[in-house]
Chain A
Amino acid sequence: MLIENLGRARKALLDSLDGLTEDQLYATPAAGGPSIGQLAHHLQASERATAALVLDALQSRSERVEEKDPSFLAACLQQGCSHDHAVSGRFSGAELIRLLEESRFRDLQSVFNETHERVLAERSTERPLFGRVSLKNLLDTIWIHDELHGKQIAAIKQSLGATA
C-alpha cells in the first residue's frame, strides 16, 4: 500500500493548494505557527531529504526489522518534526506545486527506479526520531507527513475563510 498511500496523500495535498492567493499562502495562522506556503515548502524539502536518506541507506547492508504501525510513525513525526521553515523568498502556489512535483517525480521516483518495495521492506536504517526503521517505513513517513500537515493546512484555510 506504500505507493497507493503516497499517491492518495499527495493528490489531496496538491488539491488543497489549488486556487490559494499568495496572501492566503503566507497568512500567519491565528493560532501561530507556519503558514500554508511554509508547510508546503517544508513537505517538499522533507521528501527530498527522505528520498536521499533511503538511496544512501540502500548502498549499505542492513537487517530486516519489524514493520512499524503508521500511527507510531505519525506520533513520532508529530513530536519531533523539525519545522525548518526558514524559506528564502515567497513561492507562488504554482511554484510550490512544481517543487512538490519535482520532489515526487525526481527525488522519490529515483528510489523506485532503483529498487522494489519488497527490498525496501527488507532493509533498515537508524533514525533519531524512529529508532531502527525499515526503508519502506521511512518512505511511509512521507505520506504520513503529507497527511499531518494536510490537516493543518485545512484548518488554516478554514480560519482564513478559504474554500476547503
Chain B
Amino acid sequence: MQTQFTAQLAIKFTSKWQEAGKDERAAAIREVVDIFGKHEGRVGLRGTYVVQGFQAHTDILFWMFADRFNDIQDLQLEIRRSSFGRYIATPHAFTGITKPFEFSEHPTSFAIGMRPREYLCFYPFIRKPEYYLLPKWERKALIGDHGDIGHEFTPDILTNGVYGFGLGDYEWLLTFETNDLSRLVDCVRKLRESKSRLYMQDEHPFIVGRYFALADALSQYA
C-alpha cells in the first residue's frame, strides 16, 4: 500500500464572520475554493462536512489526503493567510498516515475507490499501554473480534483507520462514512461489546458532519 498523509482540519467561524458583509463572505469562500483548485492533483479533498447540530466546537471539517505532508501544510497555510483565514479559529487539527495494519492491509475506503458518503464520524484514540505489551496472538484475537463486529455493518459503514503515532496526541485516527446515521449508532454501540474496548484509554473529540461540496459547505454559514 502506498503511504499517504491524511488531515482532518476542524474550523470554527469567529464572530467576525457574521460582522463581515455578504459580499466579503462570498469573496472569502471563492478564495478557499480557488486555493483547493490550485492544489488539485497534489491534495485530494475527500469531503467538506458541516458539523452544525452535532458538536458545538466545530463548524466545518475538511478531510484531505496527499502523498506529501508539505502539500497539505502549504494548502492550510494559504487558507490561514487568505481573507477567509481572518474569520476562523482552528479548534482541532489531526494528521495521519495510511499504512498497512499489523494483521491485514485494511486500505482506506478512498484508496480503493469508494465514494464519500452523506455523513462522516471521525474520532482519534489512544490505547492503554498494556495493549501494546500483550502477546501478538492476543492482540490479533482482539482486533479480529473487533473487525468481526465491524464487518456486520459493511458496506453500510465505510471504515478508514490511519496511523497517528508521533504526529500528534493520538495513536489512531478513525473515520466512519455512512448514508445512514441509524446504522452508525448501531455500529458504534455494538463495537462497545468488543473486548478490545478494555484497552481504550481516550477517544475524543468525536466530530460528526454532513457531506457537502466545498463551496456549498462553506456557503451554509454565509
Partner of A101, one of B114, B147, B151: B114
In the complex, are the beta carbons of A115 and B105 less than 8 A apart? yes
With A4-B2, A114-B104, A117-B105 known as contacts, the answer to whether A109 contacts B112 (CB < 8 A) is yes
Chain A positions 1-30 with a Cβ under 8 Å from a chain B Cβ: 1, 3-4, 6-11, 14
Question: For the complex, what is the distance from the CA of A7 to the CA of B113, rounded to whole Å?
Answer: 4
Question: For the complex, what is the distance from the CA of A8 to the CA of B114, rounded to whole Å?
Answer: 10
Q: Which residue of B lies closest to A4 (CB)?
A: B2
With A114-B104, A116-B105 known as contacts, the answer to whether A3 contacts B155 (CB < 8 A) is no
Question: For the complex, what is the distance from the CA of A114 to the CA of B101, rounded to whole Å?
Answer: 11
With A10-B112, A14-B115 known as contacts, the answer to whether A105 contacts B2 (CB < 8 A) is no
* Interface flags, B106-127, vs A, CB<8A=1, else 0: 1101111111000000000000
B133 touches A (CB below 8 Å): no
In the complex, are the beta carbons of B112 and A108 less than 8 A apart? yes
Partner of A7, one of B106, B112, B147, B158: B112
A151 touches B (CB below 8 Å): no
In the complex, are the beta carbons of B111 and A4 less than 8 A apart? yes
Q: Which residues of B contact A105 (CB under 8 A)?
A: 109, 112, 114, 154-155, 158
In the complex, are the beta carbons of B1 and A3 less than 8 A apart? yes
B100 touches A (CB below 8 Å): yes
With A7-B110, A109-B112 known as contacts, the answer to whether A101 contacts B155 (CB < 8 A) is yes
Q: Which residues of B contact A7 (CB under 8 A)?
A: 107, 110-113
Q: Which residues of B contact A8 (CB under 8 A)?
A: 113
Question: For the complex, what is the distance from the CA of A8 to the CA of B113, rounded to whole Å?
Answer: 6
A122 touches B (CB below 8 Å): no
Chain A positions 111-126 with a Cβ under 8 Å from a chain B Cβ: 112-117
Q: Which residues of A contact B109 (CB under 8 A)?
A: 105
Q: Which residues of B contact A149 (CB under 8 A)?
A: none
Q: Which residues of A contact B147 (CB under 8 A)?
A: 113
Chain B positions 130-171 with a Cβ under 8 Å from a chain A Cβ: 147, 151, 154-155, 158
With A4-B2, A105-B154, A105-B155 known as contacts, the answer to whether A113 contacts B104 (CB < 8 A) is yes
Q: Which residues of B contact A116 (CB under 8 A)?
A: 100, 104-105
Question: For the complex, what is the distance from the CA of A89 to the CA of B97, rounded to whole Å?
Answer: 43
**Which of B100, B104, B112 has the most A CB atoms < 10 Å from its CB?**
B112
Query: How far apart are B97's CB and chain A's nearest CB, in angstroms?
Result: 15
With A105-B155, A106-B154 known as contacts, the answer to whether A117 contacts B100 (CB < 8 A) is yes
Q: Which residues of A contact B100 (CB under 8 A)?
A: 116-117
A68 touches B (CB below 8 Å): no
Question: For the complex, what is the distance from the CA of A115 to the CA of B151, rounded to whole Å?
Answer: 15
Question: For the complex, what is the distance from the CA of A112 to the CA of B113, rounded to whole Å?
Answer: 14
